[in-house]
A = this chain, B = another copy of it.
Amino acid sequence: MSQYRTFTAADAVEYAKQFGGLDNPSVLTSAEEVGDGNLNLVFKIFDQQGVSRIVVKQALPYVRCVGESWPLTLDRVRLEAETLIEHYKYAPQHTVKVLHYDAELAVMVMEDLSDHKIWRGELVKGVYYPQAAAQLGEYLAQTLFHTSDFYLHPRTKKAEVARFTNPELCEMTEDLFFNEPYIVHERNAYPVALEPLVASLRTDDELRIAVAGLKHHFFAHAEALLHGDIHSGSIFVTESSLKAIDAEFGFFGPIGFDVGTALANLLINYCALPGLLSPREAADGREQRLKEVQGVWLAFAERFLALAASKTTDLALAYPGYAKAFLRQVWTDTVGYCGVEIIRRTVGISQVADIKNITDEAMRHECLRHAITLGRTLILAAEHIDDAEALIARVRQAG
């Protein structure tokens, strides 16, 4: 029986030899730990030529609370691996392949994606991947449709909801997205210069009520098995490929949460570009982002409707016109969650490189101000923004 122990590089190599599924595992010779070392160890396992062939990821227990939280901590590897395995069934081209996992060791062996780059880093540098938006939309449609009530048998769905109960990671989202940016909280990380703007969020009744509604949907609307954290830093890209990783927040929640998170990180980049690139490059990049926002939604909606038309198993949900009506609600949720993600990435603790990499302080504050204002607008206007085109018009309007 396996028992938790922290892996050394040598352990990781041995583990990859055993579970990496290579025809000739003996070629694996060395490992490098490339994770941030805080919550997870991430080892790249190299062959004799120094080519990375396999990735071994191991969850570390939270250092400060090894006692009580231990079992939950281990469980996040099961949840991540099972979410990826489930999503891989339906979007194999866009989901990292899990080769093996062991819940007790809190370890997961995955395909190597060294030929890919993290999308956020590329967006920050102004590198454009024209195919990424459509691929992301495809990924979202395939994973979310096939884990929804349209497709799963009701008994299977109910069992899956129970299997993917993810209290610890959901609680992080519940706090970081929906509470902390709207109260005075030590973890918030916006600059002092923005205090008046941020303070105005706290007392905006309409905004706070809308955020409460989005949090309530996050709690209660078990529509599909979400990735749960599908931002541009959880997405690997090449010229022709897009792969989602890091699904430890997976659980059954509102479809608009995943779609909105994806769009939000494109819009944060939109807001940040003037601080990152030359004016001309920034203008080009902004148009690319808007095109991507529309492209993600259109690809998602088109594929979702096509899947609903051909593969819906539920008799009532299969009625012609229902899937389209449902997607209108998903869109409203999407715009709202998009706004919430923008605000939690700018006001809250989880700041992103798009903003952090802006060296000029005044410019960085301006970009933050722009993003926060946009986030608020989206949350408030979600029910009045009819489609992706109207969303883009709102974004242009906001500056």
Q: Which residues of A contact B (CB under 8 A)?
A: 149, 154-155, 157-159, 161-162, 165-167, 170-171, 174, 178-179, 182-183, 205, 208-209, 211-213, 215-216, 219-223, 314-317, 319-322, 325-326
Contacts and interface: CB of A to CB of B under 8 A. Distances in A.
Contacts of A171: 154-155
A97 to B, nearest CB: 29
B221 A220 contact: yes
Nearest to A253: B220
Given A315-B183, A319-B208, A159 B154 contact: no
A183 B314 CA distance: 13
Task: Give the number of copies in the complex.
Answer: 2
A294 B158 CA distance: 34
A212 B319 contact: yes
A157 B219 contact: yes
Given A179-B315, A220-B222, A170 B158 contact: yes
Contact of A325 (B209, B219, B221): B209
Given A179-B316, A209-B321, 11 more contacts: A149-B216, A149-B220, A154-B170, A157-B219, A158-B165, A158-B167, A208-B322, A212-B317, A212-B319, A213-B322, A216-B322
Contacts of A216: 149, 316-317, 322, 326
Best-surrounded residue of A162, A205, A212 (most CB of chain B within 10 A): A212
